[in-house]
Amino acid sequence: MKLFRILKSTGIVCVVVLRGSNCYAVQSATPAAAGWVNMQVRDLVVDTLLRGLGGEEVGPLPKRSAACLLIAPIQGEHGSLVVAPTARLMTVAYDAQEDVLKELTVKFGGSGLKIKDQLLLLTGELTWMNQQKGGEGPVLTVNFQRGPFKGFFTGAPRVPVVVKIAQVGSELCVAAP
């Protein structure tokens, strides 16, 4: 009988078969699953902010949005930076930094948000930080943890999820790196 060991590491699951000097490894789809979780959390954050701030979503997404270029730039044609299509942009009528903190804390703080059999919990401090790239605008990094929930977190591993929010003028951009 072959001895199987499962080794887990960030983003990769290896199945190792110990038999002489043979070793077989299989990469799982964990990174893709993590990207889907990040996008789902990004959408929850956007929906929360749209309702709480009374903002309006901008569509189609402009390729040169100043707020989105702070947190979701990708390289476009001829090396110029453009906005990644995974970002979501909204407009607000005022400086919404304090209200963003309040909305996120109310929705995700404390006991977290239960989604089916998962718990999404806000972790870390919420602080707007000015960017060092010429002071274009403040950025808020929001850290979450998501994991199985049956009345309390189980011993199963929790998945860290990061969402970034930037505001420049009336533009408020949300992206999940």
Query: Residue 73's domain spans which residues?
Result: 66-152
- 81-83 vs 113-115, strand pairing mode: unpaired
pTM of the predicted model, to two decimals? 0.75
Per residue in 21-32, pLDDT tens?
333 333 333 444
Tally of domains within the chain = 2
Does residue 16 carry a pLDDT above 80? Answer: no
Residues 165 and 141: their CA atoms lie apart, in Å, by: 7
Question: What is residue 96's three-state secondary structure?
Answer: coil
- Say whether both 51 and 111 belong to one domain: no
pLDDT at 150 over 50: yes
Cβ proximity of 96 and 172 under 8 Å: yes
Residues 148 and 78 in one domain: yes
Residues 73 and 134 in one domain: yes
- Residue 52 domain-assigned? yes
Question: Could you tell me if residue 175 is inside a domain?
Answer: no
Torsion over CA: 36, 74, 105, 58 (sign): negative
pLDDT at 56 over 60: yes
Same domain, 99 and 57: no
- One-letter amino acid at 11 equals G
Of 63, 90, 106, which residue constitutes the final position of a domain? 63
Q: Which residue has the higher pLDDT, 85 or 19?
A: 85
Q: State residue 77's pLDDT score.
A: 82
| Residue 174 placed within a domain | no
Looking at the structure, do residues 59 and 80 belong to the same domain, yes or no? Answer: no
- 164 within domain boundaries: no
Q: What confidence score (pLDDT) does residue 33 get?
A: 52
Share of the chain above pLDDT 70, in %: 73
Is the pLDDT assigned to residue 87 strictly greater than 60? Answer: yes
Q: Across the chain, what does the average pLDDT equal? A: 77
pLDDT given at position 151: 62
Of 165, 175, 41, nearest to 113 by C-alpha is 41
Rg of the chain over Cα atoms, rounded to whole angstroms, equals 20
More confident residue, 50 or 8: 50
Q: What is the pLDDT of residue 104?
A: 93
Selected residue with higher pLDDT from 24 and 114: 114
Q: Does 128 lie in the same domain as 75?
A: yes
Q: What is the mean pLDDT of residues 36-55?
A: 90
Confidence class of residue 128 from pLDDT cuts 50, 70 and 90? very high
